[in-house]
Structure 1
């Protein structure tokens, strides 16, 4: 049986995180190294890595926002600064990014990371809803979210700067 460990990310994980980011997303959708470093330093509880047999093969990052019924497209800008929106007194958990190396996909690791982050943050903070965006083309990720009670709330046309300028679906779950 594989040895699996989920833990808080550290600055020392940045090379692995960037490798996962580059393998998981289209080139023009990658977020910058500095963005991940800020996420790790500002909200370490909300940034987890998954190790299999001692190898970092996945990550998930998040922020806590003040809840707003209104959904604005600029809330989800790639490479935004966590320091401008994150507050531990907020009530909505924003899943900002999740990635798994290709050779580890379809084994349930994304679901495992997502579940562990959700459990950990909901236990420690006053969270009453969760929000995220997903490309209309990322069917596996969308399935994980829908199976976890997320509902489609808003469509952002041409959000992703990929080969098809794919639309983003904003999904939200109330706890």
Structure 2
């Protein structure tokens, strides 16, 4: 039986996470290689990969902020990242399509939430599309309605989980 291993990202994971992102998100929304390189070097403590048999099959990543909503610039670079920020924002939760519907995304998000609590964060922030609101509500996230985000030309909803 395969056991899922969740660990912090390493620089050598760059190609794997970039590839998974490209198959999980439309190109207008998917983070590019240089963006992941910036996230990995700036905040590996907020970037976790999931492995099965030493192969990365998914990941979750974010950045810290004192703001209560994610600004679109945060999806493009880490200039808004504040290492000791009171909130942590989830930029993306990806599981390769070949491994979806096995509970791996739940394990990743629960790991991220636990790490945020252990780091003393006050809230976890995210934006999601309407069809994912119920999914995130099962973890305790509260929907704040339509976001000001226009990332990738999509309609997003702001959600948060307060500790």
TM-score using structure 1 length: 0.85
Residues 40-70 of structure 1: CA deviation (Å, up to 9, x unaligned): 11111100100012210001101111144xx
Q: Structure 1 87/60 Cα, relative in aligned 2: closer, same or farther at 3 Å?
A: same
Equivalences for residues 72-111 of structure 1 within 5 A: 75-77=71-73, 79-82=75-78, 84-111=79-106
Residues 124 and 160 of structure 2 are in contact (CA less than 8 Å); yes or no, is this contact kept in structure 1?
yes
Q: Structure 1 unaligned segments of length 5 or more: list them.
A: none
Count of equivalent residues: 163
Q: SS at the partner of 2:114?
A: helix
Residue 156 of structure 1: aligned partner: 147
Residue 127 of structure 1: aligned partner: 121
Q: CA shift at 1:121, angstroms?
A: 2.7
Q: SS at the partner of 2:98?
A: helix
CA–CA separation in structure 1 for the residues paired with 2:133 and 2:33? 25
Q: Structure 1 11/158 Cα, relative in aligned 2: closer, same or farther at 3 Å?
A: closer
Residue 171 of structure 1: aligned partner: 159
Residues 74 and 80 of structure 2 are in contact (CA less than 8 Å); yes or no, is this contact kept in structure 1?
no
CA–CA separation in structure 2 for the residues paired with 1:60 and 1:98? 4
Q: Structure 2 unaligned segments of length 5 or more: list them.
A: none
Equivalences for residues 34-49 of structure 1 within 5 A: 34-49=34-49
CA–CA separation in structure 1 for the residues paired with 2:161 and 2:15? 32
Residue 10 of structure 2: aligned partner: 10
Q: Structure 1 43/160 Cα, relative in aligned 2: closer, same or farther at 3 Å?
A: closer
CA–CA separation in structure 2 for the residues paired with 1:67 and 1:172? 12
TM-score using structure 2 length: 0.91
Could you list the structure 1 runs, at least 4 aligned residues long, displaced by more than 2 angstroms after superposition.
Answer: 76-80, 141-144, 156-161
